[in-house]
Amino acid sequence: MEKMRAARLVEPQKMVCEEANLYEPRKGQVVVRNQMAAICGSDLHQVFFTRRAPREFPGLPGWPGHEGVGEVVESYDDSVQVGERVLTIPGGGFQRGFADYQTLPASWCLKLPDYNGPDEDLLMAQQFGTTIFALRRGNMDFIGKTVAILGQGSAGMFFAWLAKKFGAEKVIVSDLSPARLKQSPGFGADISVLGDPHGKAIREAVLDSSDGRGADIVIEAVGRKETIRQAIDIAGYRSNVVFFGLPDTNRDVPFNYAQFFMKQIQMYGVVDAQSEKDLKSFYTALDWIARREIDVSNMVSHRLPLESIDQALILAHERDEDALKVTLTF
């Protein structure tokens, strides 16, 4: 059996790069030689806030990577040809992109469009596509609305850009990282607020900007207990709340039910964008980047080799670093 380098979660908060067996492809699947992978906020949750039992270590080789671009080197499906450059968007059971090669269903490979920029830009379409999917699902009216976004990682910035594109009058964002907030205006943020554990600063900013009404739409892109509570607190009457951040706990998260009830809030969670039947959200993301409707050229802040997976994860996780999007090269 062929061998490859692969990152592996060997214990909570620790990943190493080691030799592993190549996953054998089956009918309907392809093998992609990875060129580049990106670290997602959900990867950080899986590594630093893992809910895995001790018997589940070590993790599968390459897990939990799911944002990648590369070249198809084997294909067992007529819809994808050997030699094609693709964006990989693997769903559950196939999120093993932190490796030299990944084996996945052909349906989760999107051919890269013509583009005279770096493939790194097109790699951003995986995360971008999940945010488009999240807002399509809600079918919300953004025109003239006040939108608050908790979290300014790459997903939060994509949400800010989309809110403006869809007609929001005011976009207010919050994060604990000054470095991220510095880039937020370039993605549509009108007001950038340095967060605090109790959410006082973002609450004041939202109320001041909405004449005390609260936000019409709140997007939680962090997945922490504190920001989940803050999302409901800053939401206005008959508002919409989108929970996008991967939860960092399996335990109950308390929130003010009276606020939720009396404000008549509609809220929903978003996961598994790869289940979208036509994958339209991901194709739209690729198209908008390729046509330069959105500028993602400054989104990647750090590029490290696969062997430095542990350092890359720490860079992406620590808020005192100037990290926005961290990528791995192969």
Strand partners, 14: 11
User: Residues 227-238: what's their mean pLDDT?
Assistant: 97
Q: For the CA atoms of the chain, what is the radius of gyration?
A: 20
* Predicted pLDDT of residue 322: 73
Angle between helix 41-48 and helix 309-317 axes, rounded to 10 deg = 110
- Predicted confidence at residue 187, as pLDDT, reads 96
Instruction: Please tell me the CATH code under which domain 133-269 is placed.
Output: 3.40.50.720
pLDDT of residue 1: 58
- The correct CATH number of 3-124+296-329 out of 3.90.180.10, 3.40.630.30, 3.40.470.10, 3.10.180.10 is 3.90.180.10
Please provide the size of the chain in residues: 330
Q: Residue 198's closest CA among 175, 157, 156, 227? A: 227
Domain borders along the chain are: 3-124+296-329, 133-269
The yes-or-no verdict on residue 305 having pLDDT over 90 is: yes
User: What's the confidence (pLDDT) of residue 205?
Assistant: 98
Percent over 90 (pLDDT), the chain: 85
| 45-52 long-range contacts, CB within 8 A, separation 24+ | 45/223, 45/246, 45/247, 45/248, 46/9, 47/9, 47/12, 47/13, 47/15, 47/313, 47/317, 48/12, 48/13, 48/313, 48/317, 49/248, 49/249, 50/9, 50/12, 50/13, 51/249, 51/250, 52/9, 52/12
Q: Does the pLDDT value for residue 250 go beyond 90?
A: no
Whether 320 shows a pLDDT value over 60: the answer reads no
Q: Is the pTM of this model over 0.85?
A: yes
Residue 319: the pLDDT is 61
Check residue 196 and give its pLDDT: 93
Residue 239 reports pLDDT greater than 90 = yes
Average pLDDT of span 50-54: 78
pLDDT in tens, 188-205: 999 999 999 899 999 999
Q: Which of 48-52, 116-120, 203-207, 296-300 has the lowest mean pLDDT?
A: 48-52
Task: Give the model confidence (pLDDT) of 58-101 as tens digits.
Answer: 999 999 999 999 999 999 999 999 999 999 999 989 999 999 99
